[in-house]
A and B are shown apart, each in its own frame.
Chain A
Amino acid sequence: MTRKGSPDVGFALFDGRSILSTLTEIDTEREVVLEDNTVLGDADEAWAPVGLKRGTLSQRGFFDDAANSVHDHLVAFAQRTAAIALEGNTIGKKFIGWAGAITTKYRRIASKGTLHKAEAEYQVTGPVDEGIILHAHTQETTAGNTEGASSVDNLASSANGGAGYAEASQLTLGGYTNVALKVRHSADDVTYADLIAFTAITAAPAGERKTVAGTVNRHLASSWAYGGAGSGQSVTFMVGFARG
């Protein structure tokens, strides 16, 4: 096990809204729901899992009213997909994905002699996924692919599908009509096949969680391509995948 610290936090994206630069603390929690299973005649308490899991998420940091920054994100009280990397913004590192994080509390704190602060709590709805980063949250100016040396080898296939995350924080189309992001997989690292094709992105910020059933092969990669024609294009995004 390797210890991690605050410099390792790689990104915090909510439907593509990148708010890492405003945060001083993220608190995520997963909990298994139990029921007291103790009956008459028992000498000791007994608890049993009821088959449910739940998650909580909260944040603290600085108030920032720039477009698509923390204020815009929180004041909407919206449900968003979220992806947070606690271990680094690097292909192959883990990230946590939330299918739905609903902002339920937003506190703006102004104190004499300090910068304003912003705090929030979320209600988590749906799955919380433990995924692997297939494309770090970085900018790309041409179409590309992480197959080969930049692919992720999980050493074995899995049979229970999974969930892909795509979060784009910045997009300049420069005449192109969209950018298409994909998760791709391979059994042999020679031929790669489409596994998930996310909805083509025409504006940022944007985020999507998309699931797939069945076999997921051992090698995973991501690809990105611009649709149409143009010049001066760029997109800043992450793609990740959590096996089921």
Chain B
Amino acid sequence: MTTKRGKKTAAAGPKCYRALVGLTYPTDAEIIRRIQGGESIPYEERGVKEVPAGAVVDDVPAVSVPWLLAQGLIEEVADDAQG
């Protein structure tokens, strides 16, 4: 990407977060949309990703990020920290 001053910068990717406790969440946007719509989807059909405490991820559902941050269950990390 090029700024107005012509200086090249890295393209902004998704934010990375470190899980401070074990997390599980679906990664399919359509599944997340259906859950948010009030649909009760069995665990087996959610395509859930399991994240252990300490792992750095960039696919935490956006809807969950505010409350996970507020409760200290995840913390934001630099983009290059993902391992």
How many A residues touch the partner, as a band?
20 to 34
Q: Is B35 an interface residue (CB 8 A)?
A: yes
Known contacts A147-B24, A193-B21, A215-B71; decide if A188 and B64 are in contact (CB<8 Å): yes
- Whether B42 pairs with A187 at a CB distance below 8 angstroms is no
**Given A189-B35, A190-B32, A191-B64, is A147 in contact with B48 using a C-beta cutoff of 8 Å?**
yes
Q: Inside 8 A of B14's CB, which chain A residues have their CB? A: none
Residues of B contacting A184 in the complex (Cβ-Cβ under 8 angstroms): 24
Chain B: number of interface residues, binned into ranges: 20 to 34
Contact in complex: A150, B42 (CB < 8 Å): yes
Q: For B43, give its contact among A144, A186, A187 (CB under 8 Å).
A: A144
Q: Does A50 contact B (CB under 8 A)?
A: no
Given contacts A147-B48, A215-B71, contact A191 B43 (CB under 8 A): no
> In the complex, which residue of chain A has the Cβ closest to the Cβ of B22?
A194
Residues from chain B with Cβ under 8 Å of A215 in the complex: 71
Known: A148-B46, A190-B61. 11 other contacts (CB 8 A): A145-B24, A148-B40, A149-B40, A149-B41, A149-B42, A187-B67, A188-B64, A190-B35, A192-B24, A193-B68, A214-B71
